[in-house]
Amino acid sequence: MKTILPETIQKVKVIGGTRLIGVSDQSYQPTLSQLRAFVAVAKYRHFGTAATRLNVSQPTLSQGLAALENGLGVHLIERSTRRVLVTPAGARLLPQAQAILDAADGFVAAAAGASDGLSGPLRLGFIPTVAPYVLPDLLPALGVTMPNLVLHVVEDQTARLLGALRAGTLDAAVVALPSEISGVVEMPLYSEDFVLVVPPGHELAGRMDVPVSALDNAPLLLLDEGHCLRDQTLDLCRSVDARPMAGDTRATSLATVVRCVAGGLGITLVPASSIPVETARGDLAMAHFVSPAPSRTIGLVVRSSTARAADYRALADLIRMQLPAQVRPVG
C-alpha cells in the first residue's frame, strides 16, 4: 500500500465540485493584489462592491482570491448565493493580511515623500462622547496643517471602532484608554474629569466637593449599553459600592441624556469637555466631585503593524493642540 505524504496533498475534488483545500505549498508567496482582494471581500462582504472599490473586474477579484486560497491551502471566504462570510481561518489571518498591506502602503508613501505628513484618505473613528467636542476645532486645523489629507470620520461605539481598526476598515480611532485589545499602539491624548449635571435647584447644584458616594440611590441617567461612558459610570459606582436607582429612560446620545436631566428625569455624569456644548442653554446646573475627581483618558489608537507611526504621532500632537480648555493634554 502506497503512503501519500501530507505535504503532497494540495487540493481534492469531491462530488458536486466542492473544493477541499489541503496542505499549502510552503514555497507559495501571495501577491499584494491577492491580499487586497481578500481584505476587500472581508470588509464589504460583497464581491461586486469589493471589485468596484479596488477598481478591478469582479472575475479578476474572484480569481485573485481563489489563487490566494489555493496557494495557502485554506478557505478564507465562504460564498453562497445570498451572502459572503469570513471563515474562522480567514478571521484569524485577516489582521496579518492587513498588516502586510499597511506596511506596503507605508513603504510606497515613504518613497513618495509622504512621510512628512499624512496625505490621501484617512478613516478616523471617534466615540460619540468625544467627536462633538473635539472635531469643531480639530477639522479646521487639519485643513491647514495637513491639506493633502482626505478625512473620513466614523462615529461609533468603542467595540465596533476597535473591531473595524483590527479588520482594516479604519486607520485609527480616538477612544477611551486602555483599549484592552492586542495588536494596537495607544497614544494618550488627554484626560478629563467627570462632572455631575443636575437640574437647577438640585441639592448638589454648585457644589465643588461632592463625594462619589453621593451617587448611591441617585436617579442616575445612563447612555445605552455599548457606550464606554456608561461602563465608566457604572465602574465608578461599584468602586464605592454605590447603587444608583435604575430607571427606564434610555438614550444613545449624551445630548438626549442631558435634555432628560433638564426635564427633571434624573441626574447624569458627563465628561468635562462636553459641558460648554451640552449646557449652553443655561437650564442646567453642575456639581464637581471632591479632588481627586474621577476621570478618564482619551487616546489615539492605531494598528501596531502600521508603517506610518511617525505620521500618527504627528496627528496626535495636532489633536492635543486643538483640545477644549476643560481637558488636560497628556502624552
SS3 26: coil
Q: Are residues 246 and 307 in the same domain?
A: no
Helix (H) or strand (E) holding 190: strand 184-198
Domain of 90 in residue numbering reads as 6-109
CATH number at residue 13: 1.10.10.10
Q: Are residues 215 and 173 in the same domain?
A: no
- pLDDT digit string, tens, across residues 278-295: 988 889 999 999 999 999
What is the grid cell recorded at 23? 496542505
> What proportion of the chain, given as a percentage, has pLDDT over 70?
89
User: Stretch 192-198: mean pLDDT, rounded?
Assistant: 95
Does residue 313 fall inside a structural domain?
A: yes
Task: Look at the chain and report how many structural domains it folds into.
Answer: 3
Q: Are residues 71 and 140 in the same domain?
A: no
Among residues 63, 87, 109, which one ends one of the domains? 109
Does residue 311 fall inside a structural domain?
A: yes
Q: What is the mean pLDDT of the chain?
A: 85
CATH number at residue 306: 3.40.190.10
pTM: 0.70
**Residue 18 to residue 11: CA distance in whole angstroms:** 11
Q: Are residues 42 and 176 in the same domain?
A: no
Listed residue (135, 138, 189, 180) closest to 161, CA to CA: 180
- pLDDT digit string, tens, across residues 114-152: 555 677 888 999 999 999 999 999 999 999 988 888 899
**Residue 137 to residue 182: CA distance in whole angstroms:** 31
Q: Are residues 216 and 69 in the same domain?
A: no
Q: Are residues 63 and 177 in the same domain?
A: no
Contact 294, 240 (CB under 8 A): no
SS3 35: helix
Listed residue (195, 197, 203) closest to 258, CA to CA: 197
Q: Are residues 251 and 300 in the same domain?
A: no
